[in-house]
Structure 1
Amino acid sequence: MKQMFINGQWTHASSQAAADVTNPATGEVVDQVPYAGRAEARAAVEAAHAAFPGWSRLSAEERAEYLRKIYRLIVEHADHLAEVMTLEQGKPFEEARGEVLWGADFMLWYAEEARRVYGEMIPASRPTQRILVQRQPVGVVAAITPWNFPSSMITRKLAPALAVGCTVVVKPAPETPLSAIALFELFEQAGLPKGVVNLVTGDSQEIGREFLENDKVRKISFTGSTQVGKYLIEQSAAQVKKLSLELGGHAPYIVFEDADLDAAVEGLVFNKFQNGGQTCICVNRIFVHESIAAAFSEKLTSKIAELRIGNGMEPGVQIGPLIHERALSKVAEHVEDALAKGAGLLCGGQRLLEGTFAQGYYYSPTVLTHVTEEMKIFHEETFGPVAPLIPFSSEEEVVQAANQTPYGLAAYFYTKDLARTMRVSEQLEYGMIGINESALGYVQAPFGGVKQSGMGREGGRHGIDDFLDYKYLNLNF
């Protein structure tokens, strides 16, 4: 059984309660972790609060050196971290290793950004006055991370927080706590002062309530559903806590008639089937111009037929299982609803149950055609390996349809027309847009959405702002 990490010590829940961690590829229990609650969360917050003065007073270069140590340790142990992730989350080993290394890059990036937290001197109103602006760390940060990227979402939140002088309590998703524990073992090796980083596993509601009600927590950073994000906004209002929220998405993928079809298909397969379709910026609605719909569908189904599905620990596997039975049921519900309302099925459309698939949560890569607004999949995030194709006839029509959602995280489109590129990118109501490209996760870029997809940004120089407060000094002499 694994342990939590509080105030520099590995510890069990005070109740000795534990929770199983299950491999979604086999249904087998991988390990157990403490099932903690408010008391342990409070202890972690107290530890972070006590550590904050000393950590925040270190020089930027001293904090940066800790981040560089962590970066080197993650790279050194990338294979182990990837194996842990595959066993508890299901994504193929090579994909998991890619996530681990991407997560490491946040440590390296923010080690450099630590030295660029600049202040200002503003022209004063009289000769004996100086107006200064400082940027200071907000204090204790509670980071709540998701199961679909259980390693990189920790480092993406933790790196900028540590860089500017904040201390952190991490609450990982109950499905994937082992990746967090494996990272914290490396944080301990890096020699971080006790209390600077803390890890609590267990009852999400109880731990979350402590984060919301404890006035020593000055900021909450959350990645997850819009429903939970709204709850955090409501409950944090009593103390006016600072929030960063990366919430749900419903990404459109538009293929115009002049697009490079091979590139568009290649980009779609990478984006749609990465992590089995379980990503927040995953394509959910694929709009294809009616003049190329047949050719695009043929190329897409041919490419999907080459994908290998299976246990992520097996060499060559490209698509692993879904995370659990509930996820699989939602995918099946969306597909069945679409077919019942007139959609066509080009491939897939079923749970895989034969042989080695029997004990896991596998769903066949699926392509639906003639998807319409009456279907659930047009409006709801599927979070699975289903590609719904929607024909369109004009630019105006497709932009309007793409924006027809309360979400605004990511959007993609393919075209060779520069004027159209400018028009469409300006009209799409999304925080991130891929143009002839389906990858958006770069450490130097600001990741985040608009509308009900959240607030704040992670990554790049912009990602450091949400961990800082501005202080205005009116100096007179």
Structure 2
Amino acid sequence: MTSLLQRYYNLVGGTKHEAENGAWIESFDPYRGSPWAEIPRCGPADVDKAVTAARKAFEGAAWRGLTASSRGKLLWRLADLIERDAEKLARLEVRDNGKLFAEMHGQLRYIPEWYRYFGGLADKVEGSVIPTDKADIFNYTLREPLGVVAAITPWNSPLLLLTWKLAPALAAGNTVVIKPSEHASVSTLAFVDLFEEAGFPPGVVNTITGFGRDVGDALVAHPLVAKVAFTGGDATGAAVAAKAGEGIKHVSLELGGKSANIVFEDAAIDDAVRGAIAGIFAASGQTCIAGSRLLVQRSIHDEFVAKLVDFARPAKLGDPMEPETNVGPVTTTQQLERVLRYIDIGRQEGAKCMLGGGRPKDGVLGQGWFVEPTIFTGVENEMRIAQEEIFGPVLSVIPFDDDEDAVRKANQVAYGLAAGLWTRSMPRAIRLAARLEAGTVWVNTYRAVSYTSPFGGYKRSGLGRESGKRAIEEYLQTKSVWISCAEGFSNPFVMR
């Protein structure tokens, strides 16, 4: 029986492929709560084809023979094509993951800058001549690509988080196999069509879709994969690192967060309220940098919470394609159940629900996977809702007394991806930014990222850095070359 859903195919070696077993996965529209597309449900045999194609391209003259400047120009062409198709790709992402069109379109318009940045960086990778202590030896280093990179991406911002891996990997001269989330693969499968148009050789970029147990494990374990770049939850990240370690592969991990957004009594209160909202209810809380732990100085706690609730209460839930919508659905039914379960846990732990606390009563929203923006007060730092990543629109408000108390509570968590500080005192901001255990610290703003600035986590929030000029180092290895200038060979039984 022919499916009535739109089908999308994997790109392997420059041609479109369905799964070898002929199986498909339904992709659901979170706003409507119904399937709208199908993607191939691949298995280990499909993984082997994709990785083999990537390795063949890596070794082939069409890619390896390009100068670094030529690689950069291909990335610039790709950037122009993404800019042209930004609206189309954003609409696919909204249909697949339910995030606001305003957010996804903004990301798609910004994504080309990563390809331009790393395209410009491609021919700035340099080795060096080493002045050794051996007078008759000429020694220099080469910076070389690793080989085949497996890029494993999540469902919340598929193309942005893919770009953070893909742009530096290609600029460095690697080839890539992309495994997008089975919950949001469509935009990636549409995006990779642009590579042929940009002029990339076949096999440089490939995709493989399916469930982690079917293709993720096989991809990480494949002997021809040199590096795994993963974004997702910390438990899965730990499993990826362990599996990759069996093959002594390079690994970078961008994992979860339970970030502290800290408001001091001297902050610009109205700005801090908006920053708290941006930190948790933007993207329906489905972002690793969510400021899900709001630490408020006790002297302003009640006033601040009242303003926060008043600001958040009118937030409009609805169709993520509509410009007046503020909060869209969560992306999967599993995530819906998880968020609602944590809301119940918060109540059981004794926290007070000041706003939201369940699914919306509006019958029009009943078909979608919505959760009301939820604010808990009376939260102790040891509670599960203050320690465990929920990945939804649930905010825990935690009072603190002074600078020392704020730092202690902010750092008393397993994660360390990001943190926010709201204060008019720059000495305090500089002093505390140095003490917070987080890879990114924002002062009087939140959720700002750039292709020029490194991003990554401390502790269980990950390994390695994405974006910024050092990100390309994650996709390079160093070779040392020794050339003798001596006219004879010394004693072969003694190390030189």
TM-score for both structures, normalised by structure 1: 0.97
Aligned partner of 1:15 in structure 2 is: 21
Letter paired with 1:289: Q
Q: Which has the larger radius of gyration?
A: 2
Q: Which moved more, 1:134-143 or 1:185-194?
A: 185-194
1:210-221 paired onto structure 2 within 5 Å:
210-221=218-229
1:14, 1:216 → 2: CA distance? 20
In structure 1, distance between residues paired with 2:107 and 2:427: 35
**1:422 partnered with 2:430:** yes
In structure 2, C-alpha distance between the alignment counterparts of 1:131 and 1:356, rounded to whole Å: 70
2:111–2:160 contact (8 Å) kept in structure 1: yes
SS, match of residue 220 in structure 1: strand
More deviation in 349-358 or 460-469? 349-358
Q: Secondary structure at the match of 1:229?
A: helix
Query: In structure 2, what is the Cα distance between the partners aligned to 1:273 and 1:464?
Result: 32
Q: 1:95 aligns with which of 90, 103, 127?
A: 103
Per the alignment, residue 48 of structure 1 pairs with: 54
Correspondent of 2:81 among 67, 73, 84: 73
Post-superposition Cα deviations, 1:338-394, rounded to whole Å, max 9, x if no partner, equal 223322222111212532211111011111111113421111011111121111111
Deviation string for 1:262-309 (max 9, x for gaps)?
121111212211210000011121100011112211221122123221
Counterpart in the other structure of 1:27: 33
Counterpart in the other structure of 1:109:
117
For residue 38 of structure 1, the aligned residue among 40, 44, 57 is 44
Matching residue of 2:210: 202
- Work out the CA distance in 1 between the residues paired with 2:89 and 2:122: 26
- Aligned-residue sequence identity (percent) comes to 37
Partner of 2:395: 387
**SS of the counterpart of 1:291?**
helix
- Show CA shifts across 1:184-237 (max 9, x none): 122232221011000111132232222233221100000001111111121122
Number of equivalent positions: 477
Instruction: Give the match for residue 175 of structure 2.
Output: 167
For the residue of structure 1 that corresponds to 2:163, the secondary structure is helix
Tell me if 1:400 matches 2:403: no
Match for residue 369 of structure 1 among 367, 373, 377: 377
Q: What amino acid is aligned across from residue 413 of structure 2 in structure 1?
A: T
* Alignment map for 1:330-341 (pairs within 5 Å): 330-341=338-349
- Partner of residue 8, structure 2: 2
Contact residue 72 and residue 171 of structure 2 kept, 8 A: yes
Q: Which moved more, 1:16-25 or 1:364-373?
A: 364-373
Match of 2:325 among 314, 317, 325: 317
CA contact (8 A) 2:26 2:35 kept: yes
Residue identity matched to 2:16: W
Letter in 2 for 1:85: E
- Is 1:62 the equivalent of 2:70? yes
Alpha-carbon distance in structure 1 between the residues aligned to 2:50 and 2:387? 40
Q: Hey, what does 2:189 align to over in structure 1?
A: 181
Partners in 2 of 1:60 and 1:318 — Cα distance?
43
Q: 2:299 aligns to what SS in structure 1?
A: coil
- 2 CA distance for matches of 1:438 and 1:132? 44
Give the match's secondary structure for 1:427: coil
Q: Tell whether the 8 Å contact from 2:29 to 2:98 is kept in structure 1 after alignment.
A: yes
Per the normalisation by structure 2, the TM-score is 0.94
Of 27-36 and 323-332, deviating more is: 323-332
Structure 1 segment 234-383 matched on structure 2, within 5 A: 234-383=242-391
Change (3 A) 1:262 1:470: same
Q: Confirm or deny that 1:463 pairs with 2:471.
A: yes
Aligned-partner SS, 2:483: strand
Q: 2 CA distance for matches of 1:416 and 1:288?
A: 15
Q: Which runs of 5+ in 1 are unaligned?
A: none
Give distance in 1, aligned partners of 2:281 and 2:483.
Answer: 57
Deviations 1:421-449 (Å, cap 9, x if unpaired)?
Answer: 22211111111111112123211111101
Out of 90, 98, 102, the residue aligned to residue 82 of structure 1 is 90
2:136 paired with 1:125: no
Q: What residue is the counterpart of 1:454 in the other structure?
A: 462
Question: Amino acid of the residue matched to residue 30 of structure 2?
Answer: P
The answer as to whether partners of 1:446 and 1:459 remain within 8 angstroms in 2 is: yes
- Rounded to whole Å, the distance in 1 between the matches of 2:270 and 2:340 is 29
Instruction: Return the alpha-carbon distance in structure 1 between the equivalents of residues 246 and 17 of structure 2.
Output: 31
In 1, the alpha carbon distance for the partners of 2:110 and 2:279 equals: 16
Query: Which has the larger displacement, 282-291 or 101-110?
Result: 101-110
1:111-168 CA distance string (max 9 Å, x none): 1111211111222213332221211000100000000011111111111111110000
Alignment-mate amino acid for residue 91 of structure 1: K
Q: Is the 8 A contact 2:90 2:104 kept in 1?
A: yes
Alpha-carbon deviations, 1:42-62, whole Å to 9, x = none?
101001101113323311111
Residues of 2 paired with 1:56 and 1:279: CA distance? 36
Match of 1:155 in 2: 163
Q: Contact between 2:272 and 2:444, CA under 8 Å: does it hold in 1?
A: yes
* In 2, Cα distance between equivalents of 1:318 and 1:211: 38
Tell me by how many angstroms 1:473 deviates.
1.6
Measure the CA separation in 1 of the matches of 2:310 and 2:451.
33
8 Å Cα contact 2:381-2:398 kept in structure 1: no
Q: Secondary structure at the match of 1:292?
A: helix
| Counterpart secondary structure, 1:10 | strand
Aligned partners of 2:94 and 2:112: how far apart in 1? 17
Letter in 2 for 1:115: D
2:279–2:292 Cα contact (<8 Å) kept: no
2:422 aligned partner, one-letter code? Y
Structure 1 residues 112-121 or 159-168, which shifts more?
A: 112-121
